Amino acid sequence: MDETYGLWGQKNATLSDRTAEKEYGISRKKIRDAINAGELQFRVGSVC
């Protein structure tokens, strides 16, 4: 595991917005809304 990123560095620990949209039907708006509501975490510089 990469100690620099902690849990973020673990395999399959992250999911891109594009993959979430494609595989789970979640829109980018819903992702942003969930981040703003504190329901999802994100890595700085990884969200448009």
| Model confidence pLDDT, tens digit, residues 4-13 | 556 667 777 7
- More confident: 48 or 28: 28
> Is 4 inside any structural domain?
no
6: its two tokens: 């902690």
What total of structural domains would you count in the chain?
A: 1
Angle, CA 16 vertex, CA 10 and CA 17 arms, to 5°: 150
- On the question of pLDDT at 22 being above 80, the answer is yes
Structural domain containing residue 38: 16-48
9: its two tokens: 């560095």
> Is 39 inside any structural domain?
yes
> Is 7 inside any structural domain?
no
38/33 Cα distance (integer angstroms): 9
> Is 26 inside any structural domain?
yes
Most confident range, picked from 6-10, 22-26, 39-43: 22-26
pTM: 0.63
What is the rounded average pLDDT of the residues 21-31? Answer: 91
